[in-house]
Amino acid sequence: MTVEQAVFLFTSFLILFSGFMMVTRQNLVHAALYLVVALFGVAVIFVLLEAGFLAVVQVLVYIGAIAILMIFAVMLTRGNATEEQESMNAGFGWAMLLSALFAFALIVMLGQWADIGAMAPALDAGRSTIEELGSALVSPDGYVIPFEVASVLLLAALIGALVVARPQKGGK
Amino acid sequence: MSFINDPIGFLAEWITNFLSGFLPEAWVIFIVTLLGVIITASFGLIIVIFLIWLERKIAARFQDRLGPNRAGPYGLLQTFADMIKLITKEDVVPEKADKLTFNIAPILSVVAVLLIWAVVPFAPGWIGTDLNVGVLYIAAVGSFGILSILMAGWSSNNKYALLGAFRAVAQLISYEVPMLITLMVPVLLARDMGMMTIVESQNLWYIALAPISAIIFMVSSIAEVGRTPFDLIEAESEIVAGYHTEYTGMKFGMFFAAEFLHAFTIGVIFAILFLGGWRGPGAEEFRLLGVVYLMLKGLLGYFIVMWVRSTLPRIRIDHMLAFNWKFLTPLSLMLLVMTAILDKIFGDTALRLPLLLAGNVLVLFLGWLALRWASRRQTKTRRVFKKRPVAKPA
Amino acid sequence: MLSNWIFVGIFISIAAVFPLLPIVLARFLAPRKPNPIKLDTYECGMETVGDTWVQFKVQYYIYALVFLVFDIETVFLFPWAVAFDVLPLFAVLEGVLFIVILVGGLLYAWRKGALEWA
């Protein structure tokens, strides 16, 4: 059992545990905080995959912006700070069956995928991963179109969200 | 390497050789790493003690008084006295507070600041860990601090704490945008995100190549820490004590220590990114000199933070957010674009410095013109009062 | 590269222990005399009025939203900045175009009054 394997097992257990806690908590803010733990676990997995840049991006964007946005939404719309919700509804049994089937299908499919143990292709020596990522993002035979489309997508998301959440003139 | 030139490298090698005699290699690496971690973390915590004393003395001098001078020579033991006082205070946890979140928040706050010290380059070769994403890592651990404030405010089950936490988080996330954008300018100039590489490529300090970006970084970092003029976070006269209203004793002490350490840390980060870090005459030869230079430059940054604190009054929250979104963000984006284009065209020539300086001054001038135009527009819409007859003494 | 991150992992654990020590020390040294008045929520010395909740102010949410968009924008721009040396001027201008599109978004938010605190 190498250190990597031990860390991977511990982190996976942490992610699964916090994911389970997140969907079963009755206090929504607790659920949001368990989500933060799960996202941090994903960042650790990124580190294990030698994608340090994606790990810090995960923490910076997911935990630093998206989780805070969600916590704001929960705290601002839930009124009473300690209000509790019912965590399961009537469709619980069917949902559990469907998700178990789905998980089983995923595991079987991934198990039969030939490339599952493959390593990532090695980089040219002398260029770091981030430099490769950067030049791939803006090179014409790289990903420049998705790069610019992403900016338009962000613009559309910003405008759409502002239209939906626009503060009414006259105070709200 | 001899002991004088590189004490830590020498010690590390000595300990590694000593331990390899009777431990397997993985354990040796683990123990040496653990020692490095403990030294770096302790350095951060021990310097807080000195910093609190320094802050009180300098704030006092700015206010034309002496500051603590009773406890020990020149008041040096004042911080210890304060720590002992805080430890012996009763730890009151409000009844309806959320116990786990309430207790974790101060610890998370300190952890978020301590983690920054893992990537600070003290001298050539002396760095906790030279991550290839050092700069973004610093921004990422800042988000843990923001989370801890939200947790503290919500778990106190107190209207004022919650309100204070929301306003604090609104301020912190707003000022993170110009901070990230101006963080990109040294990355652009050094072509790398690693902290050690940024210091090593500063043959010319980056504050000369991007002065306005440095100032914007300093301003947004002061706002990130929550110091005056941006200290709405703990504005005592307005919302009691903000998000740490319900915290007593050592937990409050942890928030307090985290804030001071954060203020010094941004001084050090400013020194690394813009003032050349450990660079100075003789730093490559004698590593300890590099540490001395870095600490001096960091103290200069910290002094600027304290100077601004003692000079300016608190800014109202709507002014503060308008300043950020309507002035700092567009200005820093313009600076980034200008630096990128100029550096690409003239990066390798001798024209780099004068052109970038000229570009910075030009953008600053444009920003000043925009501010003047905006304030003129505002003045025009002010109501003009009718002339009324003035009372005259009989 | 992984060894670099192990340092960070160990650092997180040690950094979590360091603040715990004074707090645990305080647990032994500090008096513990809880009484109902002390444990009550603080509201400037009065009894609390109403439940603990804050009036929904949509402005907080909007600031978080605009921050999110700009956060992702800077995250896209960091690899672009790192790869600066190997990029031709054309690629630099593509990055500038990216920034300009999002400045347009900021201007939209500004004109629509989304950045006002009131």
Residue A82's pLDDT is 55
Of the two residues B103 and C2, the one the predictor is more confident about is B103
Q: Per the domain annotation, does A47 fall within a domain?
A: yes
Q: Per the domain annotation, does B260 fall within a domain?
A: yes
Q: Per the domain annotation, does B380 fall within a domain?
A: no
Residue A37's pLDDT is 94
Tokens of B255: 């928030």
Among B25, B137, B176, the residue to mutate for chain A (most A Cβ within 10 A): B137
AA letter at B49: I
Q: At what angle do helices C58-82 and A129-138 cross, to 10 degrees?
A: 100
Overall number of domains in chain A: 2
Tokens of B180: 């990230």
Q: At what angle do helices B249-274 and B211-225 cross, to 10 degrees?
A: 170
Whether B156 and B278 map to the same domain: the answer is yes
Q: Is the dihedral of CA B269, B270, B271, B275 positive or negative?
A: positive
Q: Per the domain annotation, does B47 fall within a domain?
A: yes
Inter-chain residue contact B173 with C67, CB threshold 8 Å: yes
Residue A124's pLDDT is 63
- Predicted TM-score (pTM) of the model is 0.90
- Averaged pLDDT of chain C: 82
Q: Per the domain annotation, does B388 fall within a domain?
A: no
B36 CB neighbours in chain C (<8 A) are 7
Q: Per the domain annotation, does B394 fall within a domain?
A: no
pLDDT digits (tens, 9 = 90+) for B100-149: 888 889 999 999 999 999 899 888 878 888 888 889 999 999 999 999 98
Residue A171's pLDDT is 41
Q: Round to whole Å and give the CA distance between A121 and B266.
A: 39
- Mean pLDDT, residues B156-180 taken together: 86
Alpha carbon distances (Å) from C100 to A95, A107, B222, B330, C48 = 46, 44, 27, 10, 50
Q: Round to whole Å and give the CA distance between B144 and A33.
A: 12
Inter-chain residue contact C58 with A167, CB threshold 8 Å: yes
Inter-chain residue contact A130 with B96, CB threshold 8 Å: no
B309 has a pLDDT exceeding 80: yes
Q: A169 — phi, psi (to 5°)? A: -70, 125
DSSP assignments along A7-61, one per residue: HHHHHHHHHHHHHHHHHH-SSHHHHHHHHHHHHHHHHHHHHHTT-HHHHHHIIII
Which is nearest to B250 in space by CA: B104, B86, B106?
Answer: B86
Whether B35 and B131 map to the same domain: the answer is no
Tokens of B46: 């021990």
pLDDT digits (tens, 9 = 90+) for C7-27: 888 899 888 888 888 888 888
pLDDT digits (tens, 9 = 90+) for B333-371: 999 999 998 888 887 777 788 888 888 888 889 988 888
Residue C100's pLDDT is 93
The answer to whether B355 and B346 have CB atoms below 8 angstroms apart is yes
Q: Grade residue B95 by pLDDT with cuts at 50, 70 and 90.
A: confident
Q: Per the domain annotation, does B385 fall within a domain?
A: no
Inter-chain residue contact B131 with A52, CB threshold 8 Å: yes
Last residue of one domain, picked from the residues A83, A115, A139: A83
Whether B109 and B192 map to the same domain: the answer is yes
> What 3 state SS string does chain B have?
CCCCCCHHHHHHHHHHHHHHCCCCHHHHHHHHHHHHHHHHHHHHHHHHHHHHHHHHHHHHHHCCCCCCCCCCHHHCCHHHHHHHHHHCCCCCCCCCCCHHHHHHHHHHHHHHHHHHHHHCEEECCEECCCCCCHHHHHHHHHHHHHHHHHHHHHHCCCHHHHHHHHHHHHHHHHHHHHHHHHHHHHHHHHCCCCHHHHHHCCCCCHHHHCHHHHHHHHHHHHHHHCCCCCHHHHCCCCCCCHHHCCCCHHHHHHHHHHHHHHHHHHHHHHHHHHCCCCCCCCCCCCHHHHHHHHHHHHHHHHHHHHHHHHHCCCCCHHHHHHHHHHHHHHHHHHHHHHHHHHHHHHCCCCCHHHHHHHHHHHHHHHHHHHHHHHHHHHHHCCCCCCCCCCCCCC
Q: Per the domain annotation, does B109 fall within a domain?
A: yes
Whether A72 and A138 map to the same domain: the answer is no
B215 has a pLDDT exceeding 90: yes
Q: How many CB atoms lie within 10 A of CB C76?
A: 20
- Mean pLDDT, residues A115-131 taken together: 70
Whether A2 and A78 map to the same domain: the answer is yes
**At A14, which CATH number?**
1.20.120.1200
B245 CB neighbours in chain C (<8 A) are 42
Q: Per the domain annotation, does A54 fall within a domain?
A: yes
Q: For B14-50, b where at least 16 C-beta lie within 10 A, e where not — what string?
A: eeeeebeeeeeeeebbbebbeebbeebbeebbebbbe
Whether B167 and B30 map to the same domain: the answer is no
Overall number of domains in chain B: 2
Give the lowest-confidence range in B6-10, B316-320, C53-57.
C53-57
Q: Per the domain annotation, does B391 fall within a domain?
A: no
Q: Grade residue C54 by pLDDT with cuts at 50, 70 and 90.
A: low
Q: Looking up tokens 């008084």, which residue turns up? A: B65
- Averaged pLDDT of chain B: 85
B99 has a pLDDT exceeding 60: yes
| Nearest Cβ partner for B87 among C26, C44, C78 | C26
Residue C45's pLDDT is 57
pLDDT digits (tens, 9 = 90+) for A51-65: 889 999 999 999 999
Of the two residues B29 and A147, the one the predictor is more confident about is A147
Q: Round to whole Å and give the CA distance between B109 and B94.
A: 20
Among A30, A56, A76, A82, the residue to mutate for chain B (most B Cβ within 10 A): A56
Task: State whether residue C79 sits within 8 Å of chain A by CB.
Answer: yes
Residue C74's pLDDT is 92
A133: part of which helix (H) or strand (E)?
A: helix A129-138
Last residue of one domain, picked from the residues A28, A53, A83: A83
Which is nearest to C20 in space by CA: B198, B250, B70, B40?
Answer: B250
Q: Round to whole Å and give the CA distance between B269 and B263.
A: 10
AA letter at B208: A
Whether A70 and A144 map to the same domain: the answer is no
Q: Chain C neighbours among A 1-30 (CB < 8 Å)? A: 3-4, 7
pLDDT digits (tens, 9 = 90+) for B239-276: 556 677 778 878 888 888 888 899 999 999 999 999 98
Q: Grade residue B33 by pLDDT with cuts at 50, 70 and 90.
A: confident
Whether B124 and B4 map to the same domain: the answer is no
Angle at B2 between CA B1 and CA B6, to 5 degrees: 75
Q: Is the dihedral of CA A89, A92, A98, A101 positive or negative?
A: positive
Q: For A124-136, b where at least 16 C-beta lie within 10 A, e where not — what string?
A: eeeebbbbbbbbe
Inter-chain residue contact A68 with C64, CB threshold 8 Å: yes
Give the lowest-confidence range in A13-17, A97-101, A135-139, B306-310.
A135-139
Nearest-by-CA chain A residue for B104 = A33
Inter-chain residue contact C82 with B158, CB threshold 8 Å: no
The answer to whether B176 and B224 have CB atoms below 8 angstroms apart is yes
Query: In order of start, what are the domains of chain C with their CATH numbers?
Result: 2-111 (1.20.58.1610)
- What pairs with residue B147 in β-bridges? none
Of the two residues B147 and B25, the one the predictor is more confident about is B147
Residue B159's pLDDT is 74
Q: Round to whole Å and give the CA distance between A46 and B70.
A: 53
List subunits contacting chain A, requiring 3 or more Cβ pairs under 8 Å: B, C
Q: Left, alpha or beta for B78 (phi > 0: left; psi -120 to 50: alpha)?
A: alpha
Count helices and strands (H / E) in chain A: 7, 0
Whether A78 and A132 map to the same domain: the answer is no
Whether B256 and B348 map to the same domain: the answer is yes
Last residue of one domain, picked from the residues B63, B88, B113: B88
How many Å lie between the alpha carbon of A31 and the closest alpha carbon of chain C? 18
Q: Per the domain annotation, does A99 fall within a domain?
A: no
> CB within 8 A of B67, min separation 6: which ones?
B56, B57, B58, B59, B60, B61, B75
Last residue of one domain, picked from the residues A28, A60, A83: A83
Whether B4 and B52 map to the same domain: the answer is yes
How many Å lie between the alpha carbon of C23 and the closest alpha carbon of chain B? 6
Whether A68 and A145 map to the same domain: the answer is no
Of the two residues B279 and C39, the one the predictor is more confident about is B279
Task: State percent of chain B over pLDDT 70.
Answer: 95
A161 CB neighbours in chain C (<8 A) are 65
Q: Grade residue A114 by pLDDT with cuts at 50, 70 and 90.
A: confident
ipTM of predicted assembly, 2 dp: 0.88
A167 CB neighbours in chain C (<8 A) are 58-59, 62, 113-114, 116
Q: Round to whole Å and give the CA distance between B389 and C15.
A: 70
Whether B1 and B132 map to the same domain: the answer is no
Task: State whether residue B142 sits within 8 Å of chain A by CB.
Answer: yes
Range of the domain at B157: 93-371
Whether B1 and B31 map to the same domain: the answer is yes
- Mean pLDDT, residues B13-41 taken together: 82
Whether A21 and A74 map to the same domain: the answer is yes
Residue A172's pLDDT is 41
- Mean pLDDT, residues B31-57 taken together: 87
Q: Round to whole Å and give the CA distance between B247 and B226.
A: 18
Last residue of one domain, picked from the residues B88, B118, B148: B88
Q: Per the domain annotation, does A48 fall within a domain?
A: yes
Inter-chain residue contact A53 with B140, CB threshold 8 Å: no
Whether B168 and B250 map to the same domain: the answer is yes
Range of the domain at A74: 1-83
